[in-house]
Homo-oligomer: A and B are copies of this chain.
Amino acid sequence: MLRTTFNSLYRINNGVRYMSTSTTNDKVVGFIGLGNMGGHQAMNLLKKGHKLVVYDISKDNVQKLTEKGATSAPTPADVAKQADIIVTMLPASAHVRSVYLGEKGILSTVKKGALLLDSSTIDPQTARDVANDALKAGAIMLDCPVSGGTGGAEAGTLTFMVGGAETDFERAKPYLQAMGKNIVHCGDVGTGQVAKVCNNLVLGISMIAVSEAMNLGVKLGMDPKKLSGIFNTSSARCWSSELYNPCPGVLESAPASRGYTGGFGSALMNKDLGLAVDSAKSIGEPLPLGNNAHQIYTMMVTKGLGGKDFSAVYEFLQKNK
Residue of B nearest to A321 (CB): B303
Q: Within the complex, which residue of B184, B227, B283, B295 is in contact with A291, where a contact is CB–CB below 8 Å? A: B295
**What is the copy number of this chain in the assembly?**
4
For the complex formed, measure the closest distance between the CB of A153 and the CB atoms of chain B, giving whole angstroms: 15
Q: A320–B304 contact, CB under 8 A? A: yes
Cα A318 to Cα B161 with chains together (Å): 26
In the assembled complex, the Cα of A277 lies from the Cα of B312 at a distance in Å of: 22
Bound complex: CA A147 to CA B231 (Å): 11
Give residues 118-174 of A contacting B (CB, 8 Å). 124, 147, 159, 161
Known contacts A202-B236, A209-B206, A236-B202; is-contact A230 B186 (Cβ 8 Å)? yes
Task: Say yes or no: is A69 at the interface (Cβ < 8 Å to chain B).
Answer: no
Number of interface residues of A (CB under 8 A): 81
A206, B238: Cβ atoms closer than 8 Å? yes
What is the minimal beta-carbon distance from A105 to any residue of chain B, in angstroms? 21
Which residues on B sit within 8 Å (CB–CB) of A182?
A: 233
A57 CB within 8 Å of chain B: no
Contact B213 A202 (CB under 8 A): yes
| CB-based contact B205/A221 at 8 Å | no
Residue positions of A touching B, CB distance < 8 A: 124, 147, 159, 161, 182, 184, 186-188, 190-191, 194-195, 197-203, 205-206, 208-210, 212-217, 219-223, 226-227, 230-231, 233-241, 244, 274, 276-281, 283-296, 298-299, 301-304, 317-320
